[in-house]
């Protein structure tokens, strides 16, 4: 199953750091994503894009995981060579992950 079937996401940017939220539509799926979508798994998934640490924060009250990817925006929004300098489309990439 792809994450897209049970969750939605938005990406934010600060300098060379991207944060990608993962939000379940239904709270019953929260424990599943908490178990399956670890920081290590996300780091491996974005290995060609993120060249730093991945941290995961949990917000249990609303069923949200927040992934913070260091060195993930090609040196920062201003100097990145990427077409999507802000990494705004990375949210859709995370939702392609199979669990």
- Shortest reach from residue 4's CB to other proteins, in Å: 7
**Residues in contact with other proteins by the rule CB under 8 A:** 4, 8-10, 12-17, 19, 21, 23, 25, 45-49, 55, 57, 59, 61-62, 64, 66, 68, 74-79, 81-84, 89-90, 93, 96
What does the block give as tokens for 75? 């040196």
Burial of residue 87 (number of CB atoms within 10 Å: 0-12, 13-18, 19+): buried
- Shortest reach from residue 63's CB to other proteins, in Å: 8
- Shortest reach from residue 79's CB to other proteins, in Å: 5
């Amino acid at each position: 199953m792809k994450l897209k079937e049970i969750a939605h996401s938005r990406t934010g940017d600060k300098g060379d750091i991207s944060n990608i939220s993962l939000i379940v539509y239904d709270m019953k799926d929260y424990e599943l994503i908490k178990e399956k979508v670890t920081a290590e798994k996300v780091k491996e998934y974005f290995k060609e894009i993120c060249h730093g640490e991945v941290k995961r924060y949990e917000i249990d009250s609303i069923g949200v995981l927040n992934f913070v990817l260091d060195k993930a925006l090609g040196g920062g929004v201003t100097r990145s060579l990427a077409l999507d300098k802000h990494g705004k489309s990375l949210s859709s990439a995370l939702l392609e992950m199979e669990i």
